[in-house]
Amino acid sequence: MTSTVQGIGDLATTLVGVSGEYFVAAELSRRGYIASITLRNTRGIDVLAANSDASKSVGIQVKTNTTKKKDWLLNEKADTARSDSHFYVFVNLNDPGLLPRFHVVPSKVVAAYVSSSHKKWESTLGRGGRPHSLHNPMRHFRDPQNEYLDKWELLGLD
């Protein structure tokens, strides 16, 4: 049985991710960049983007949610994924009929954020006053103040 994500009907989790990738590629193209979605087995890069003469390029990992929350789930690999040419684009799909929202964040910022916030989470007590599991591979990235909303210029492709 296919898992579902709450927020946009019963859109399957896989389709949520694929939708986010295509929306990112479309937005990059709309802005005059070259965008190519990678094969599913390309580790850590969902979209390759370049300027119009292909003299500058970046790899983008896309994380998509179907809620209005500015909160995305990552795994522990995000702690160490740090490169000047690697970015995350976090997508809020929103409801059908509304445009998605894009948060463009350098991987170094994401790595610092998820590492710090996970250490803080580990040091607090969970439900019932029990310690959190120190081996939890899940991480969260949040942008509650929209600091990275539509910050496409951070890609450095101009």
d(CA 6, CA 12): 9
The CATH number for 39's domain is: 3.40.1350.10
In a domain, 56, yes or no: yes
- What pLDDT, on a 0 to 100 scale, did the predictor assign at position 132? 66
Asked whether residue 124 is domain-assigned, the answer is: no
pLDDT, one tens digit per residue, over 33-46 is: 999 999 876 888 99
Q: Does residue 52 fall inside a structural domain?
A: yes
Which residues 6+ apart lie within 8 Å of 129 measured at CB? none
pLDDT at 123: 67
Total count of domains within the chain: 1
Question: Does residue 21 belong to any structural domain of this protein?
Answer: yes
131 φ/ψ angles, rounded to the nearest 5 degrees = -65, 150
Domain that holds residue 145: 13-68+82-106+141-155
- Would residue 131 count as lying in a domain? no
**pTM, two decimal places:** 0.85
Evaluate whether residue 23 is within a structural domain. yes
pLDDT confidence of residue 69: 87
- Residue 24 placed within a domain: yes
The model's pLDDT over 88-139, given as tens digits with 9 standing for 90+, comes to 999 999 888 889 999 999 999 999 888 887 677 666 767 777 776 667 778 8
Decide if pLDDT at 48 tops 80: yes
In a domain, residue 33? The reply is yes
Q: What strands, in cross-sheet order, belong to the sheet with 34-37?
A: 34-37, 47-50, 57-65, 86-92, 101-106
